[in-house]
Amino acid sequence: MNLQGKTALVTGSTSGIGLGIALKLAEAGANLMLNGFGDVEAAVAAVASHGGRVRHHPADMREPEEIEALIRASEAEFGAIDILVNNAGIQHVAPVESFPVERWDAIIAINLSSAFHTSRLALPGMRARNWGRIINIASVHGLAASPGKSAYVAAKHGLIGLTKSLALETATTGITCNAICPGWVLTPLVQQQIDDRAAAAGGLDQARHDLLAEKQPSLQFVTPEQLGELALFLCSGAAEQVRGTAWNMDGGWLAQ
């Protein structure tokens, strides 16, 4: 897989799945625009050590103007955005009747609306070059629900709907749009849920086991590296007719 000369923008790529995907794309030769909060320097250094040129932009995915600045900075720095990975996401767990309204708004903005904004702004350049890959990191929760995750489930179902619409609007072009739907991946987003369970009962090991046993028949976490390999495949020529899919990698979660 050779992505030399291509530029990838991965939102929320300072941690977890986004960083795992950025590392794989850099290994294949792509230039990377990273985005997200936290330990930015470590993320930039890790991706730089895998090859290609790397920059970071601090846009907050809740803010359309900042998203526009991220797209313009990527184009100014690298000349194009060829691969767009909409990955930034947050979680909050609570029943609907006590779900904090500001958390609902933030989840819809970051997990769903930001992909609309990045896509609408990156598409004209992709159309001009007649090549592009848009990869939306949805979730098994884009295809099935769990209690307590109304905003997340609604956003991820919406993201799969957006994926299908975009795939149809670009169907006769060299641009493809697909969603990846991971099951449990051991990242800070999931560690928080394990910590909450451990605090309620049992220890960390028990909480980790129970979390997997409830949903993921393999009893193993999916890894960011494995998701990075799937993203690489979606960037390949072999995946040119893979359009509008919601591809789960979930240890058997959705087979049940």
Check if 152 is active-site: yes
Contact between 170 and ligand NAD per CB under 6 A = no
Positions in 191-220 near ligand NAD (CB under 6 A): none
CB of 15 to ligand NAD, least distance (A): 4
Q: Among residues 31, 74, 139, 248, which is the contact residue for ligand NAD, using CB under 6 A?
A: 139
User: Could you give the CA distance from residue 230 to residue 241 in angstroms, rounded to a whole number?
Assistant: 15
Contact between 248 and ligand NAD per CB under 6 A = no
Please provide the distance, in angstroms rounded to a whole number, between the alpha carbons at the two ends of the chain. Answer: 34
Q: What is the dihedral of CA 246, 90, 153, 195, to 10 degrees?
A: 110
Contact between 51 and ligand NAD per CB under 6 A = no
Angle at CA of residue 23, ends 236 and 122, nearest 5°: 60
Are the C-beta atoms of residues 43 and 36 closer than 8 Å to each other? Answer: yes
Q: Which is nearer to ligand NAD, 74 or 139 (CB)?
A: 139
Contact between 46 and ligand NAD per CB under 6 A = no
User: Could you give the CA distance from residue 103 to residue 91 in angstroms, rounded to a whole number?
Assistant: 9
Burial grade of 46 (CB within 10 A; 0-12, 13-18, 19 or more):
middle
Q: Which is nearer to ligand NAD, 39 or 77 (CB)?
A: 39
Q: Among residues 10, 30, 61, 83, which is the contact residue for ligand NAD, using CB under 6 A?
A: 61
Contact between 62 and ligand NAD per CB under 6 A = yes
Catalytic residue among 55, 71, 149, 152: 152
Catalytic residue numbers? 152
